[in-house]
Amino acid sequence: MKQWLQDAVFYEIYPQSFYDTNGDGIGDLPGILAKLDYIKDLGCNALWINPCFDSPFKDAGYDVRDYKKIAPRYGTNEDAAALFRAAHEKGIHVLLDLVPGHTSEEHPWFQASCKAEHNEYSGRYVWTDHCFAGGDGMPFIGGETERNGTYILNFFKCQPALNYGYGKIHEPWQKPTDDPDCRATVEAIKDVMRFWLDMGCDGFRVDMASSLVKNDTRHKKYTCAIWREIAAMLHEEYPQAAMISEWNGPRMSLKNGFDMDFMLNHTDNGYYWLMRAYDGTMDSDPHNIGKAYFCKDSGTGIDKFLDDWLPSYKATHKDGLYCLITCNHDTIRPSAGLTTDELRLAYAMIFTMPGAPFLYYGDEIGMRYQKLPTKEGGYFRTGSRTPMQWAPGKNLGFSDAAPEDLYLPVDPAPDAPTVAGQQADPNSLWHTVKALLAFRHAHRDLDSDAPFKVLFAPKAKGDYRPFAWRRGALVCAVNPAGAQAEVPLKLEEGTRVLFAIGQATVRDGTLVLGAQSFAILG
């Protein structure tokens, strides 16, 4: 593992919604540079910036038109280089969002592949061999090009699939992964990575990392081989560059080249039961039914999380980091279902568990999920992508543009949380986040790869729902319920409370946690 990842705490930035410096209503790279001191002061020392390459923005930048050009609405390549330099001067690493499985239909590679005449890019995408051919079970588009064939989609209609080959071949147009066209695709993506690493970026979050080879095996044998090859290139040429996968499959990702993987929100998985458990997760109206573990009165135990997370952690913790997030650009903000007091405890757990934690911009102040019409392919996700709320006043400090010109509207509520407001309030969520991250950085026992052990995780019984775990020499414990809980840990003599949210005391080797409390003992 790269040494810098041991103490890494990531801050995810949706660039169009973070900070606008030129008054056009859209956030930009100079805006991120201007807020680096804020990010560092909060306690984050690494960035993940959502796609900022040139794009027609039919899918918020996940439809790349030019891999080597910053989208003009965000600035220039020179702005990116300046951001990398400034971040490094402050001890902050920067990951860019790489989309290797598809491009925009406006990408020059795809435009060339659409031509009837064979050329260098004819095999860069997955094409069938006839205008009326189906996609062998995958979505496809036909009738839009002069080429006699249909092309396979990787996700939205605007995202034709790049050609890495097929694991199981059923049709004559499907190529093996060692075909020269498929190898050219791999080399093209390596070239893109080298371009940005040479400029100063520190690695990549990889979108849809498991989507490369089609008809792959259950264990993604061929896709994993590609990632091992790319990781070997990075190890040789850029030994400190890191990759994190959008996969939620650590047994595949972490054992095949990735440094990190996310535990993502999927209905009824372990992460879902920590902070969400909505009735209606996949629409723009998350009906909170109060069943998440961190909901005070849910009666839900930590077992719903551990049954999913723990086996994956045990199987992969020597290979890389299985990371927890507060939220991301694809997930409904946790404030939609949790109160501020519940958020404090959720973050306390996320920031003290193994892996490098990821804090989504605005979660540190409890930014609210907004019910909004879709924007740039966001659909229900749009409400989690609204402008950062910096201060009271016009557009909550995000931009000087007219409100109607903003990328998305800011929270219209009179009590919309802001950074300035919470910095002025010592009891705010922002101060809790800052204190938690400062404690993490001050204690090597909370490093991302420090030892972990479950100490106490009983099945929930009414209001009795505590969870306790060991990180190195430290003991962490949380009680999300509305009633006091005694946690029988057999603590060593002299063990004391080093950090607490709520009430925590040690009596005769037993930890007593007040209602909705968290503690770190040592």
- pLDDT, residue 490, reads 86
pLDDT over 90 at 284, yes or no:
no
Same domain, 383 and 462: no
* Position 221 in a domain: no
Report pLDDT digits (tens) over 309-333: 999 999 999 999 999 999 999 999 9
pLDDT over 90 at 461, yes or no:
no
Same domain, 413 and 385: yes
pLDDT over 80 at 166, yes or no:
yes
Full 3-state SS string of 101-112: CECCCCCHHHHH
Report pLDDT digits (tens) over 341-391: 999 999 999 999 999 999 999 999 999 999 999 999 999 999 999 999 999
Q: What is the mean pLDDT of residues 30-35?
A: 98
pLDDT over 90 at 468, yes or no:
yes
State how far Cα 155 lies from the chain centre.
18
pLDDT over 90 at 299, yes or no:
yes
- pLDDT, residue 102, reads 98
Same domain, 274 and 421: yes
215 pLDDT band, cuts 50/70/90, is very high
278 pLDDT band, cuts 50/70/90, is confident
Give the domain extent around 516. 451-521
Instruction: Give the residues across from 468 on adjacent strands.
Output: 456, 477
Q: What is the mean pLDDT of residues 232-256?
A: 98
Give helix 77-89 / helix 180-199 axis angle, nearest 10°: 60
pTM comes to 0.97
The continuous run of DSSP H or E covering 289 comes out as none
Same domain, 13 and 107: no
- pLDDT, residue 281, reads 62
pLDDT over 90 at 287, yes or no:
no
Instruction: Give the residues across from 48 on adjacent strands.
Output: 12, 95
Provide φ and ψ at 239, rounded to 5°: -60, -20
The continuous run of DSSP H or E covering 124 comes out as none
Residues in the chain, overall count: 522
Domain boundary pick from 407, 425, 442: 442
Q: Residue 427: CB partners within 8 Å, gap ≥ 6?
A: none
Secondary structure letter of residue 444 according to DSSP: G
Same domain, 430 and 505: no
- pLDDT, residue 1, reads 87
Average confidence score pLDDT of the chain: 97
* Position 406 in a domain: yes
* Position 251 in a domain: no
Count up the domains in the chain and report the number. 3
Can you tell me whether residue 95 is helix, strand or coil? strand
Same domain, 404 and 475: no
Q: What is the mean pLDDT of residues 113-123?
A: 98
Same domain, 106 and 144: yes
Report pLDDT digits (tens) over 414-438: 999 999 999 999 999 999 999 999 9
* Position 222 in a domain: no
Same domain, 359 and 280: yes
- Identify the CATH number of the domain in which residue 371 sits: 3.20.20.80
Secondary structure letter of residue 462 according to DSSP: T
Report pLDDT digits (tens) over 183-210: 999 999 999 999 999 999 999 999 999 9
Pick from 247, 332, 249: nearest CA to 292: 332
Contact (Cβ atoms closer than 8 angstroms) between residue 166 and residue 174: yes
- Identify the CATH number of the domain in which residue 511 sits: 2.60.40.1180
